[in-house]
Amino acid sequence: MSALFNFQSALLVLLLLICTSAYFHQLFPGFMDRNKDGAVTGLFWKCARVGERLSPYISVCCVIMAVSLFIGN
């Protein structure tokens, strides 16, 4: 089933995008800040901002998602 039709998979993809963007922003801040305008690069920059500012909540969501995937299988 596609992630578009499964809410749990879509949420997992969103969480992974936020976490990955925040990690790459930490590694390459100049590159991410320079490319914050635009469709694709702007999306990564915005996800990095969300990951940096809401990191405790994002990490709790990741743990809850991991536990729900572990229990669900």
pLDDT band at 50 (very low <50, low <70, confident <90, very high): very high
Domain locations in the chain as residue ranges = 15-72
- Kindly give, in sequence order, each residue whose CB lies less than 8 Å from that of residue 35, ignoring residues fewer than 6 positions away: 41, 42, 44, 45
pLDDT, tens digit (0-9, with 9 covering 90-100), for 20-32:
999 998 998 888 8
pLDDT band at 17 (very low <50, low <70, confident <90, very high): very high
In angstroms, rounded to a whole number, what is the distance separating the alpha carbons of residues 34 and 50?
17
| 38 in Cβ contact with 30 (< 8 Å) | no
Residue tagged 């690069």 (tokens) = 41
pLDDT band at 4 (very low <50, low <70, confident <90, very high): low
Q: Which token pair is 43? A: 């999306």
